[in-house]
Chains A and B, each alone.
Chain A
């Protein structure tokens, strides 16, 4: 930014930001380790983890590759249902069920992504929205497998004996830290990908497709890979959600869930590593606090969202970065 209307914090702030950027996964995990102790209650902290990871997956596609999907509920929901059905209908223990849910979302991402990347801009958004609604309709109608309108019940993760150590997911603290292990792992993987040469190609495609193609990059293959990676991360988030809630509500697949992740990412700061998590945390907390006072919490969240879009389009983390590193 050339305007320079925000003077100082100067070198110290810059050094701090650089240090955080260098160890971004460690910094994120450190922040998340203490999160349950600053939250009003622990189930809310798990919500932040799950929605944060969901937003991280979405941000991979939107913030880094420049593709705005309005259908990411399909992958969040596919992960949740894939994992939930494996546990409740087939009695699969939760760790392999997580893998099943994630893989299912990835496969769905390959199908939807394969179709959607043939279009661009608003058409891309509409195609993802339409295909996600198809997924919603299928899960809604297939009552015998999914529970239909009532949602999928009986996703009981229960206990797991791990190297002689009893893991009881009913205990909220244990559950939080088990979920955190998977979130941390996913964050590390995403960070590696973003740091790699392939991460540079994603940004190149976001910046200028024509130029990327002229440089010798297969733009379609890049978009496809980015889409599938994004679906996998969102699928893991959905799988964790199923274990967290012990049920999968049909709303998980609703288009409002797709809209939610767009809002969280924009609120936190798209195209940044920490933004999605900060956005998700902010959103979850504001929703929780305002519902104490009014049923119309969307009114409050919506107003905050509009203020950010109009006056702080870089989001919360983007504004902090701009302030620390002018």
Chain B
């Protein structure tokens, strides 16, 4: 159902020693929407991302997914539940082929502990991996080593890997970081294609990019929730203009 909350952060806080990275953040991400989390450097975006993707456990508060409490669950369970992520820093299996990268990711859902039948006999997994590579536009690169791909292609590969677990929720951490303008353009087109069929949460630094594609925007500042609303509401919000747009203009 479109519109209901699929992922909810309830009064989430995170401390590293005495440093408070996040404080009492409550956000509901609605199904079928593209929600962006923005904020200036040090706002707690990545910490928040790591908490909702299972890499970090929150110090306070709960995380609910599809109504179930998943706070503190081991990270490898997140992919199996249907929460997939791409990393801010490119994170692939460098010396495996592009196809094998995605095939391994697909396999995680279907044949995790098959220790006996040859991989080649799981033909459905290879086909699904190939299909995902088509989707992100890496069809021609299947046999190359992932380490030899261009930066933008590696980011696309990561998204194909994230899609492999058939996610209900796709988390993207600065997917256009370090990309050329052309690469950014095609990445944005890809994100829009993906968002048409899925719930997407985008953590992004680039304000302009976010304004154009998001259904809903959440603004973090100094580890706290500053504002949320539609792109127009956010653009009009004086507080946001002060901490974020003002800073960008300076």
Q: Which residues of A contact B (CB under 8 A)?
A: 2, 192-193, 195-201, 203-204, 207-208, 210-219, 225
Contact = CB atoms under 8 A, between A and B. Distances in A.
A216 B116 CA distance: 20
Given A204-B104, A214-B85, A2 B148 contact: yes
B174 to A, nearest CB: 16
Given A197-B111, A200-B100, A200-B107, A211 B76 contact: no
Contact of B119 (A200, A207, A211, A212): A200
A200 B87 CA distance: 21
Contacts, number: 94
A232 B115 CA distance: 15
A155 to B, nearest CB: 32
A217 B115 contact: no
A44 B103 CA distance: 43
A207 B94 contact: yes
Contacts of A204: 93, 96, 104
A217 B94 contact: no
B96 A203 contact: yes
Contacts of B117: 196-197
Contacts of B111: 197
B93 A211 contact: yes
Contacts of B84: 214
Contacts of A2: 148
Given A201-B104, A211-B161, A219-B76, A196 B118 contact: yes
A214 B115 contact: no
Nearest to B114: A197
Query: Which 10 pairs, one residue from A and one from B, show the smallest C-beta to C-beta distance?
Result: A216-B79, A207-B93, A216-B108, A198-B115, A197-B111, A195-B118, A215-B108, A197-B114, A215-B105, A204-B104
Contacts of B162: 214
A192 B161 contact: no
A196 B93 contact: no
A207 B90 CA distance: 13
B123 interface: no
A198 B113 contact: yes
A212 B125 CA distance: 17
B74 interface: yes
A197 B79 contact: no
A213 B80 CA distance: 11
A216 B114 contact: no
Contacts of B108: 215-217
B104 A200 contact: yes
Nearest to B111: A197
B5 interface: no
Nearest to A193: B115
Given A197-B112, A207-B96, A210-B91, A215 B148 contact: no
B15 interface: no
B95 A207 contact: yes
A215 B115 contact: no
A196 B116 contact: yes
27 contacts: A193-B115, A195-B118, A196-B114, A196-B115, A197-B107, A197-B112, A197-B115, A197-B119, A197-B125, A200-B100, A200-B103, A200-B107, A201-B104, A203-B93, A204-B93, A204-B104, A208-B93, A211-B87, A211-B161, A213-B75, A214-B78, A214-B84, A214-B162, A215-B108, A216-B76, A216-B78, A225-B115
